[in-house]
Amino acid sequence: GLTPIQAEQETKFTVAEKGKLKAVSLDFRGPNEHLDNIKSVLNLPVSEMASLFGVTRQSIYKWTGNQATPDDENLAKIAELSQLADLFKEAQVSRPLDMVKMKAFQGKSVLDLFKGGEPFMHLATVLVKESRIADESYARSGLSQLKTAKTDGWKSSISIPFSDEA
């Protein structure tokens, strides 16, 4: 079964929105849990998180250690970035840090857009698709299935025609 905290996080509510029923997840995580989620899923270093939220590394450490609470603006930003991490985790994005740093949107990355306060969540699905395409082509290439030990055999002079003439 689920722990009470997991059950709380899994709680789904249905709300009426313009006559339509829509499932909504309520997020009960605190800023420290969101920051842990961002760090573990997106592999973001503390220094980079500090830069994104416009604070010092010390502030990030205090927030993750529950010694201080971010201001309302940063609370909202932390929750938003954590939702991106949730999406990537659910989609099993294999290289999340590369994906959020990819300058794929008019020369900007998702992190650039996030830091600039521009909308970015709608682009996350594009990155998830990109990641899937890359993973599928890697799987199709057969490189992941190679069981043979890597050797330098391909460098041997016998395999290179006319190498003895050099």
User: Please, are residues 106 and 120 in contact by the beta-carbon 8 Å criterion?
Assistant: no
Residue-wise pLDDT for 51-85, tens only, equals 999 999 999 999 999 999 999 999 999 999 999 99
pLDDT at residue 41 in the model: 94
Residue 148 has pLDDT above 90, yes or no: no
Distance CA 10, CA 7 (A): 5
* CA proximity to 11, closest of 26, 30, 31, 32: 26
Residue 12 has pLDDT above 80, yes or no: no
Structure tokens, 59: 């502030």
pTM of the model: 0.64
Residue 151 has pLDDT above 90, yes or no: no
Residue-wise pLDDT for 88-136, tens only, equals 898 888 888 888 888 888 899 889 999 999 888 888 888 888 777 777 7
Domain spans of the chain, in order of start: 4-144
Alpha helices in the chain (DSSP H): 4-10, 31-42, 46-53, 57-64, 72-90, 96-101, 110-115, 121-141
pLDDT at residue 146 in the model: 61
Residue 19 has pLDDT above 60, yes or no: no
Is the pLDDT higher at 147 or at 107? 107
